[in-house]
Amino acid sequence: MAPLVPQGAGVGARIDALADLLEGRGDLAGADVRRALHAAPRHLFAPARGWCAPDGPGERHVIDRDADPDGWWAGVYADASIVTQAADGAGDPAAGVDEATSSLSAPGAVVAFLELLGVRAGDRVLEIGTGTGWTAALLTTLGAEVTTVEVDPRLAETAARNLDAAGVGARLVGGDGAAGEPGGAPYDRVHVTCGVTTVPYAWVQQTRPGGRIVLPWMPEFGDGHKVRLTVTGDGRAIGRLHGAADFMMLRAQRTVLPGAPDGEVVESVTRLDPRVVAHAGVAVAADVPDVMGGERDEGGDRWLVLADVAGTSWARCRVGAGEHAVSQAGPRRLWDEVAAACLRWIERGRPGRSRFGMTVGPEGQDVRVRRG
């Protein structure tokens, strides 16, 4: 919801009210980031029309600068994302109907990642996902030398206009962010504004030893997570999970839950509650990273539905009281794999998100419970 500000308040008062809200919630800690919010005001990067989605309580709604200026200002300086593109440009971003494919991220999420990044004046920063250009502007006002990569040419054009109008000198490059931007490497920081399931190793290769990478890790199963990695001298990046995150995916890593393939269906029952499995999301994602999952309503019942990314196998377990019906098909028994991962998590004492760490190296990505 929008912070309380007097009607007709100036931009500075709106920014301070928003910053106070974020500080009180623990997202904003440093005075430098607060100053950056003033130096790169969010309204300069907001669309004239968009779909406003509060990051918390509040109804989603359209904002329109011409039709309802007061509502537009309130939405721009609320802790809410504003959809700026739908269906990769084929839909109306202000309708709230088609899948959102780009947005002006909610200030709370933006600020939380900036705090994790810990950018210093003079740092060379690679940003993956320019969007409207707001985060690149914030990084620049924090004293960074910013290279920002945007895959969508139309979004890049809009961001370039926004940055130019705001007087921001970030270097904007068109291309697939999964490849990074080797022309500006090595970087002191890498700031990722889109979700990834697997961290591209190019980002590690293009970061100095001791440099940081912050990103929204969006595994195939369960919720998303903020991750901060530090690059080591042996070609790896290591770090921990730091909190919840929900971002649109890097286009190169988009996936959808596939339909059930043909094949013999094996029926069984389980006493393990699928709701407990859902709560073990990060543990399941760590142990069986290629299994996707989500709840669906079918025939009046609620099911936890699973599928492997390759589309070879599927499973579902009915949510309800008592024993739970399980159906599985394909060469893998996905419910059995996911249930085993959940039980291992229970045996470890149900460690929370902050106990998990991530390592990225030439051999791939590893997520597991860390000691200490």
Q: What's the 3-state SS for 29-41?
A: CCHHHHHHHHHCC
How large a percentage of the chain has pLDDT more than 90? 86
* Average pLDDT of span 233-253: 94
* Average pLDDT of span 209-237: 96
What CA–CA distances, in Å, run from 3 to 7, 16, 29, 207, 332?
12, 9, 18, 38, 50
Instruction: Identify the pLDDT of residue 147.
Output: 98
Q: pLDDT for 31-61, tens place per residue?
A: 999 999 999 999 999 999 999 999 888 899 9
Instruction: Identify the pLDDT of residue 77.
Output: 97
Do 190 and 211 form a contact (C-beta atoms < 8 A)? yes
Instruction: Identify the pLDDT of residue 6.
Output: 44
Q: What is the largest CA-CA distance in the chain?
A: 65
Asked whether the predicted pLDDT for residue 85 surpasses 60, the reply is: yes
Pairing mode, strands 187-192 and 364-369: unpaired
Query: How many angstroms separate the CA atoms of 203 and 360, rounded?
Result: 10
370 in helix, strand or coil?
coil
Mean pLDDT score across all residues of the chain:
93
* Average pLDDT of span 221-236: 96
Instruction: Identify residue 139 by its one-letter amino acid code.
Output: L
Instruction: Identify the pLDDT of residue 103.
Output: 96
Q: pLDDT for 12-39, tens place per residue?
A: 999 999 999 999 999 998 899 999 999 9
Instruction: Identify the pLDDT of residue 185.
Output: 96
Lookup: tokens for 268: 């069984």
Do 122 and 236 form a contact (C-beta atoms < 8 A)? no
Nearest C-alpha neighbor of 109 from the set 213, 262, 205, 248? 248
Strand order in the sheet with 291-298: 265-270, 324-329, 314-319, 301-308, 291-298
Residue 372: band (very low, low, confident or very high) from pLDDT cuts 50, 70, 90: low
Residue 196: band (very low, low, confident or very high) from pLDDT cuts 50, 70, 90: very high
Q: pLDDT for 149-182, tens place per residue?
A: 999 999 999 999 999 999 999 999 999 999 999 9
Instruction: Identify the pLDDT of residue 7.
Output: 47
Phi-psi region of 140 (alpha: psi -120 to 50; beta: other; left: phi over 0): alpha
The CA dihedral of 231, 200, 279, 298, to the nearest 10 degrees, is 170
- Give the global pTM: 0.92
Residue 300: band (very low, low, confident or very high) from pLDDT cuts 50, 70, 90: confident
SS3 content of the chain, % helix, strand, coil (to 5): 30, 35, 35
Asked whether the predicted pLDDT for residue 200 surpasses 90, the reply is: yes
Asked whether the predicted pLDDT for residue 109 surpasses 50, the reply is: yes
Lookup: tokens for 365: 């990505």
Query: How many angstroms separate the CA atoms of 277 and 336, rounded?
Result: 11
Residues annotated catalytic, as ranges: 105
Residue 362: band (very low, low, confident or very high) from pLDDT cuts 50, 70, 90: very high
Asked whether the predicted pLDDT for residue 272 surpasses 80, the reply is: yes
Lookup: tokens for 95: 């309708």
Instruction: Identify the pLDDT of residue 2.
Output: 46
E strand intervals along the chain: 49-54, 61-64, 80-86, 100-104, 124-128, 145-150, 171-174, 187-192, 207-217, 224-231, 237-245, 265-270, 291-298, 301-308, 314-319, 324-329, 356-361, 364-369
Instruction: Identify the pLDDT of residue 9.
Output: 60
Of 4 and 234, the structure prediction assigns the larger pLDDT to 234
